[in-house]
Structure 1
Amino acid sequence: MNRAQREATARQIMERVPPPVPPDLHAEVVRRGSRLLRRKAAARRLLYLLLLAASVAFLVWAMTARPWVEPPSQTTPPLTDW
């Protein structure tokens, strides 16, 4: 195909009448879009709730276990200089 034929073919494609759009398409798209937004919002809330629960669980564990404190020695040091 040379350039003129390609341009003519492209013009024919662009000048075609688009296929008819179903009349209820807009309502269906709006319904699906709003449902998708509600699902995303619910998922985001659930994620934040899980993050909050994990943070609270970690804080409770840290306050009870106190992992930063060195555990007490299990043996008695030897007595010297008596």
Structure 2
Amino acid sequence: MSGRERKETAVRRMLETPHPPVPADLAARAAEHGTRLLRRHRALRRALWLLLVAAAIAFALWATVAQPWVVAPSGTTPPLEGW
């Protein structure tokens, strides 16, 4: 008997046994749990987008104030010649 046949016979035995009783409010509890998960995921996604927008605004403000594209002035003065 191969592994697949053993699995099939085990599944058939499980299906032939009487099914356990299911709580009457199982569907309502599952729907409520799913709604809670969706709300939590939606709130997390909004918070991450808000954080991303805040970081982009902070970077833009820093870039306008610091102007990193401008060459910094040299720390030393050029030598004076011709005096």
Give the TM-score of the pair, scaled to structure 2: 0.80
Measured in 2, the distance between the counterparts of 1:20 and 1:54 equals: 53
Match of residue 29 from structure 1: 30
Deviation at 1:53, TM superposition (A): 0.0
Deviation at 1:8, TM superposition (A): 6.0
Match of residue 14 from structure 1: 15
Measured in 1, the distance between the counterparts of 2:68 and 2:75 equals: 17
- Structure 1 regions of 5+ residues with no counterpart? none
- Structure 2 regions of 5+ residues with no counterpart? none
Measured in 2, the distance between the counterparts of 1:78 and 1:46 equals: 56
Match of residue 49 from structure 1: 50
Deviation at 1:64, TM superposition (A): 0.4
State the identity as a percent. Answer: 53
Measured in 2, the distance between the counterparts of 1:38 and 1:48 equals: 15
Q: Structure 1 residues 63-72 or 20-29, which shifts more?
A: 63-72
SS at match of 1:37: helix
**Counterparts in 2 of 1:10 and 1:42: CA distance versus 1, 3 Å:** closer
Match of residue 73 from structure 1: 74
Give the TM-score of the pair, scaled to structure 1: 0.81
**Counterparts in 2 of 1:13 and 1:80: CA distance versus 1, 3 Å:** same
